[in-house]
Structures are given as C-alpha cells and as structure tokens.
Structure 1
Amino acid sequence: MKNNLYKLWNRMSSGSYFPKAVRGVEIPKKNGKKRLLGNTDNRRQSGTNDRRHEL
C-alpha cells in the first residue's frame, strides 16, 4: 500500500496524474427532493490526457 501511495503522490506532484471524469446524476428522494450522485464517467472525453490508451 505504501508503494501505491508513493506512486500516486509522485504522479500528482509531477503533474502526470489525471483523475477519471465524474458525471453528476440526480437521484429522486422519497420526499420529492433530489440528491446528486457522483458517477464515474467511463466514456473517453475529447481533449483529455488519458495516458492509459497510449501504452
């Protein structure tokens, strides 16, 4: 785990870490209001620096 944390910290500090996009989805509640749920967006967006596809 420490090795993974170090790798993540290293990528974040060097500017090479790009988190996945999150899409907000409204979920209806019983009282009629809505709450926002953050859902990972697996679609590739144009203009992102996703280096996984370059390997």
Structure 2
Amino acid sequence: MRPGRGSGHPLREGTSHARRYPAPVPPITPADLAKAAAGAARLLGRLLGGAR
C-alpha cells in the first residue's frame, strides 16, 4: 500500500487524490448571495428580453 496509488485512504494518500477529497466548502457570505442574485437577475433579464 504505497501512498498516492489509489488506496482510498485520504490521510495516507496525501495530496495525490485531492480531487476525490475536496476541502470543506466555506460558508456562503452575504456578498456571495448578492453576487449570485445579481448574476441570476441579469441572466433572467437577458432571457426574458430575448424572448419578446
């Protein structure tokens, strides 16, 4: 069982399989919510504007 050879153990594999064990997602901040809302509103407006 060599490290980094796909043994499936996150502590033993180190960073070779970081994609399989992603870091915990940081909490969503109000700024993130505002950014997402603005992006969604812009996208929705473009869709509605193009549909008319």
**TM-score higher than 0.5 here?**
no
- From the CA coordinates, give the structure whose radius of gyration is larger: 2
Choose between structure 1 and 2: higher helix proportion: 2
What is the TM-score when the length of structure 2 is the normalising length?
Answer: 0.29
Higher RCO, 1 vs 2 (CA within 8 Å, ≥6 residues apart)? 1
Report the TM-score, using the length of structure 1 for normalisation. Answer: 0.27
Larger fraction in strand: 1
